[in-house]
Chain A
Amino acid sequence: MIEVNPQGEVWVFAEQEGGKLSDVPLELLGKGRSLAEKLSVPLAAVLAGKDVRPLADTLIAHGADKVYLVEDDRLEHYQARSYSRVLCNLIEQYKPQIVMYGATPLGRDLAPTVASAMKCGLTADCTDLQIGDHVEPITKHLYKNLLFQIRPAFGGNIIATIVNYDRWPQMATVREGVMPMPAPDENRTGEIIECKADLDGLVLPLKILETHRRERKVNLKAARIIVAGGAGVGSKENFKLIWDLAECLGAAVGGSRAAVDLGYVDADHQVGQTGTTVRPALYIACGISGAVQHRAGMAESAKIIAINIDRDAPIFSIAHYGIVGDLNDVIPKMIKAIRTRAGVKK
Chain B
Amino acid sequence: MGYDCVVCAKQVPDTKRITGEAMTEEGTVNRAALPAIFNPEDLNALEQALSIRDAHGGTVTLITMGLPAASEILREGLYRGVDRAILITDQRAAASDTLATSYILSCAIRKLSYDIVLCGRQAIDGDTAQVGPQLAEKLSLPVITYMEELISLEGKTIRVRRNIGNGYQVVEADLPVLLTVTEAANTPRPPMVKKIMKYKKARSKSEVEQEVKNLLQGDFENYAAELEAQQVEQICSELKEKGLLIEQWNLDDIDADLNWCGRDGSPTKVHRIESVVLTGSEYKEIPPTEEGINQLVAELIEDHTIG
Contact = CB atoms under 8 A, between A and B. Distances in A.
Contacts of A205: 142, 173-174, 177
Given A155-B18, A159-B276, A205-B174, A344 B29 contact: no
Interface of B: 13, 15-16, 18, 22-23, 27-29, 97-99, 102, 124-138, 142-146, 159, 163-174, 177, 260, 266-276, 278-290, 292-302, 305-307
A94 interface: no
A122 B99 contact: yes
Given A157-B18, A207-B172, A212-B168, 10 more contacts: A109-B133, A154-B125, A155-B16, A156-B276, A157-B15, A205-B177, A282-B305, A323-B292, A324-B285, A333-B289
B284 A157 contact: no
A108 B99 contact: no
A111 B15 CA distance: 25
A113 B168 CA distance: 21
Contacts of A167: 267
Most chain B CB atoms below 10 A, which of A111, A113, A343: A343
B280 A84 contact: no
B164 A213 contact: yes
A299 B281 CA distance: 11
Contacts of A202: none
Interface in A196-210: 205-210
B288 A154 contact: no
B145 A162 contact: no
Contact of B124 (A155, A216, A345): A155
The A interface, classified by DSSP as helix, strand, loop or mixed, is: mixed
B278 A314 contact: yes
A58 B284 CA distance: 43
Nearest to A339: B297
A250 B307 contact: yes
B272 to A, nearest CB: 4
Interface of A: 1, 80-81, 84, 104-106, 108-109, 111-113, 115-117, 119-125, 132, 134, 136, 146, 148-149, 152-167, 205-216, 225, 249-250, 273, 281-282, 292, 295, 299, 302-303, 305, 314, 316-326, 329-330, 333-334, 336-338, 341-345
Contacts of B167: 211-214
Contact of A116 (B129, B133, B168, B272): B133
Contacts of A210: 169-170
A207 B126 CA distance: 31
Contacts of A132: 271
Contacts of A158: 23, 27-29, 273-276
A210 B16 CA distance: 36
Contact of B298 (A206, A225, A323, A341): A341
A325 B288 contact: yes
A131 to B, nearest CB: 12
7 contacts: A117-B137, A155-B18, A205-B142, A213-B167, A324-B285, A334-B296, A336-B290
A330 B291 CA distance: 11
Contacts of B164: 105-106, 211, 213
A326 B276 contact: no
Nearest to B142: A205
A208 B162 CA distance: 11
A159 B274 contact: yes
Most chain A CB atoms below 10 A, which of B127, B159, B281, B296: B127
Contacts of A165: 269
A109 to B, nearest CB: 5
Contacts of B102: 116
Given A208-B171, A324-B285, A318 B165 contact: no
Contacts of B267: 1, 119-121, 164, 166-167
A342 B294 contact: yes
Given A122-B98, A157-B15, A216-B166, A105 B146 contact: yes
A88 to B, nearest CB: 10
Contacts of B306: 225, 249, 282, 338
A343 B297 contact: yes
A322 B286 contact: yes
B276 A157 contact: yes
Contact of B142 (A134, A162, A206, A329): A206
A160 B305 contact: no
B269 A80 contact: no
Given A112-B133, A156-B276, A160-B270, A322 B284 contact: yes
Q: Which 4 A-B pairs have the closest CB atoms?
A: A325-B288, A155-B15, A343-B298, A121-B267
A252 B290 CA distance: 24
A330 B288 contact: yes
A113 B133 CA distance: 6
Nearest to B165: A105
A166 B177 CA distance: 32
Contacts of A80: 133, 136, 143, 145
Contacts of B268: 121-123, 149, 162-164
